[in-house]
């Protein structure tokens, strides 16, 4: 019988020759009787039973149940709570949930039941269960008139916080170009699955790489050539995770068909017309060369030969591009290749950041040595910063008047050195010197602080 077709059972059954007419209500007041001709008058209906009378001496099994117990009763153990569910009855308006401690598996090993709650739905979550105590649960239905159903059959549940035993004897059984295979023993635990962790060194943070319900696992995603430390943990049905197994180390081997990792393109700058790219590369698979590609769409299509720009053996690339404005619209990507012509995936496609070229830094004269009709100057070399235009030389400015400027200097001399011997000077005359730095972009720094010098006659 389906739940939707259940009806309350009548409290008494009329005889074949008598019809019992019940007035509204359950008090018996206003009840009429009709008898068949010649038959003895029908006895009055008994007054309704109290709750205690309905359930009899055994409250678990009422003497005269009004409808069936809820069906589909289910109990799920969990780490934080125990969850109950059951099918609802069309005639029921609420449900009582009962709980008792269960010391064993038999019905006689269950302690006294206590009502936990009265709910209006077909579910209840027991979040107050003591950790790791086995409980027996049962449920019964009620209607608005106080009628009760039989109880469901008791089911056990536990708020389980005890982790399973750790797996034992983790062993590396295979290492090849495709991955690493591990196996282990259960450790006599109640684990329903196992989680595999790895780290790039014994003391590094562990990272979850997968899970399995079997006693073996194959890691195909590790980086070739890198020795990982592995461990396995068991997980029980409610999610408690065990301590770690013994650690083992294993390496996905490098062979002639192993592809390197994609380069990490870290820096891309376009300063005026100077392009600078630099990237890093994993060291575990040897790389013979790098190929640079570019296009005006991202990601760069490395299968199109027209997008190939250059090849280099160093993890950097510098070149001068045209001064056209659309040079700023290109994306660049790099591919690493081994000596066996096995190529990596492409790096991320990056559009270089553009900036206007800047003049180099100024220098400073640190030594001046007057001589007979001459003056020797020495100054500090100016280094080129990352992405800066290289320094190509220096320009010496000279004047017989103080506060020498580039515009009013009486003499200039350009050199790639950091010193200069000025000859043919008039002895006893005061000369004023300053030096500017020059770079590859043709830009010039501010003048160094001015210094005077008087050559002898």
> What are 281's two structure tokens?
């590369």
**Which of 26-35, 190-199, 316-325, 386-395 comes out lowest in average pLDDT?**
26-35
- pLDDT digits 0-9 by tens, 312-367: 999 999 999 988 888 999 999 999 999 999 999 999 999 999 988 889 999 999 99
pLDDT at 53: 37
- Strands 431-439 and 82-85: what pairing? unpaired
Alpha carbons 438 and 420: distance in angstroms, whole number: 15
pLDDT at 55: 36
Predicted confidence band of residue 47 (pLDDT cuts 50, 70, 90): very low
Instruction: Please choose, from the candidates 161, 153, 151, 111, the residue with its C-alpha nearest in 3D space to the C-alpha of residue 131.
Output: 161
For the chain, the residue count is: 457
Query: What sign has the CA pseudo-torsion 206, 208, 214, 218?
Result: negative
Within 10 angstroms of residue 331's Cβ, the number of other Cβ atoms is 19
Predicted confidence band of residue 161 (pLDDT cuts 50, 70, 90): very high
> What are 24's two structure tokens?
């509204």
Strand ranges for 35-131 from DSSP E? 74-76, 82-85, 94-101, 114-119, 123-126
pLDDT at 386: 66
352 Cβ neighbours under 8 A, 6+ residues apart: 268, 269, 270, 275, 276, 277, 328, 330, 332
451 Cβ neighbours under 8 A, 6+ residues apart: 365, 368, 377, 432, 433, 434
Whether the CB-CB separation of 229 and 313 falls below 8 Å is answered with no
pLDDT at 97: 98
Alpha carbons 281 and 283: distance in angstroms, whole number: 6
Whether the CB-CB separation of 427 and 343 falls below 8 Å is answered with no
**Which of 23-32, 101-110, 342-351, 423-432 comes out lowest in average pLDDT?**
23-32
**Looking at the predicted structure, is the pLDDT value of residue 8 above 60?**
no
- pLDDT digits 0-9 by tens, 77-103: 999 999 999 999 988 999 999 999 997
Q: For 315-378, where are the alpha helices, taking DSSP H only?
A: none
pLDDT at 153: 94
Region 10-20: what's the mean pLDDT?
A: 31
pLDDT at 145: 86
Where does residue 118 rank: exposed (0-12), middle (13-18), buried (19+ CB within 10 A)? exposed
Alpha carbons 99 and 108: distance in angstroms, whole number: 15
List of domains in the chain: 1-48 (no CATH), 74-158 (2.60.40.10), 168-251 (2.60.40.10), 264-355 (2.60.40.10), 365-453 (2.60.40.10)
In the block, residue with structure tokens 């001459």: 374
pLDDT at 146: 85
251 Cβ neighbours under 8 A, 6+ residues apart: 175, 180, 225, 226, 227, 228
**Looking at the predicted structure, is the pLDDT value of residue 281 above 80?**
yes
- Bigger pLDDT: 65 vs 384: 384
**Looking at the predicted structure, is the pLDDT value of residue 63 above 90?**
no
pLDDT at 66: 54
Alpha carbons 225 and 251: distance in angstroms, whole number: 6
**Looking at the predicted structure, is the pLDDT value of residue 57 above 60?**
no
Alpha carbons 185 and 172: distance in angstroms, whole number: 13
**Which of 25-34, 155-164, 342-351, 405-414 comes out lowest in average pLDDT?**
25-34
Region 149-156: what's the mean pLDDT?
A: 94
323 Cβ neighbours under 8 A, 6+ residues apart: 272, 273
Query: What sign has the CA pseudo-torsion 381, 382, 386, 389?
Result: negative
**Looking at the predicted structure, is the pLDDT value of residue 20 above 50?**
no
> What are 53's two structure tokens?
């009378």
3-class DSSP assignment, residue 2: coil
Region 136-145: what's the mean pLDDT?
A: 93
- pLDDT digits 0-9 by tens, 206-219: 999 999 999 999 99
- Bigger pLDDT: 25 vs 220: 220
Averaged confidence pLDDT in the chain: 86
DSSP structural state of residue 444 = B
Strand ranges for 220-297 from DSSP E? 227-235, 248-251, 264-271, 274-280, 289-295
Region 211-239: what's the mean pLDDT?
A: 96
Cα torsion 444, 449, 450, 456 to 10°: value is: -110
Alpha carbons 184 and 204: distance in angstroms, whole number: 22
pLDDT at 234: 97
pLDDT at 275: 92
**Looking at the predicted structure, is the pLDDT value of residue 107 above 80?**
no
Cα torsion 150, 155, 156, 157 to 10°: value is: -90
Predicted confidence band of residue 124 (pLDDT cuts 50, 70, 90): very high
């Amino acid at each position: 019988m389906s739940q939707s077709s259940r009806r309350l059972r009548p409290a008494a059954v009329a005889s074949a020759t008598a019809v019992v007419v019940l007035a509204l209500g359950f008090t018996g007041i206003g009840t009429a009787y009709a008898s068949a001709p010649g038959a003895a008058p029908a006895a009055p209906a008994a007054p309704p039973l109290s709750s205690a009378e309905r359930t009899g001496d055994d409250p678990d099994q009422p003497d005269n149940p009004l409808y069936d117990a809820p069906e589909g009763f289910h109990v799920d153990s969990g780490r934080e709570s125990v969850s109950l569910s059951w099918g609802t009855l069309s005639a029921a308006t609420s449900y009582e949930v009962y709980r008792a401690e269960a010391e064993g598996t038999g019905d006689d090993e269950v302690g006294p039941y206590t009502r936990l709650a009265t709910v209006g739905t077909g579910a209840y979550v027991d979040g107050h269960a003591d950790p790791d105590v086995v409980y027996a649960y049962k449920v019964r239905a009620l209607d608005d008139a106080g009628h009760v159903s039989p109880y469901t059959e008791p089911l056990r549940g536990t708020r389980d916080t005890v982790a399973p035993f750790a797996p034992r004897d983790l062993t590396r059984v295979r290492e090849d170009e495709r991955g690493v295979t591990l196996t282990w023993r259960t450790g006599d635990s109640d684990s329903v699955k196992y989680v595999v962790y790895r780290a790039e060194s014994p003391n590094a943070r562990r990272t979850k790489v997968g899970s399995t319900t079997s006693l073996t696992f194959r890691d195909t995603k590790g980086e070739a050539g890198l020795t990982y430390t592995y461990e396995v943990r068991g997980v029980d049905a409610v999610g408690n995770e065990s301590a770690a197994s013994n650690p083992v180390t294993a390496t996905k081997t490098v062979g002639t068909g192993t592809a390197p990792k994609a380069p990490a393109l870290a820096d891309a700058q376009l300063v005026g017309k100077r392009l600078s790219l630099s990237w890093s590369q994993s060291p575990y698979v040897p790389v013979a060369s790098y190929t640079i590609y570019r296009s005006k769409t991202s990601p760069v299509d490395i299968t199109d030969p027209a997008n190939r720009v250059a090849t280099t053996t160093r993890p950097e690339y510098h070149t001068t591009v045209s001064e056209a404005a659309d040079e700023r619209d290109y994306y660049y990507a790099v591919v690493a290749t081994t000596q066996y012509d096995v190529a990596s995936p492409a790096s991320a496609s990056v559009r270089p950041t553009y900036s206007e070229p800047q003049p180099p830094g100024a220098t400073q004269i640190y030594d001046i040595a007057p001589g007979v009709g001459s003056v020797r100057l020495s100054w500090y070399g100016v280094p080129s910063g990352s992405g800066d235009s290289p320094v190509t030389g220096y320009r010496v400015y000279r004047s017989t008047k103080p506060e020498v400027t580039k515009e009013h200097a009486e003499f200039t001399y350009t050199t790639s050195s950091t010193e200069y011997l000025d000859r043919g000077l008039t002895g006893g005359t005061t000369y004023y010197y300053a030096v500017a730095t020059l770079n590859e972009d043709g830009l010039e720094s501010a003048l160094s602080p001015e210094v005077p010098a008087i050559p002898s006659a």
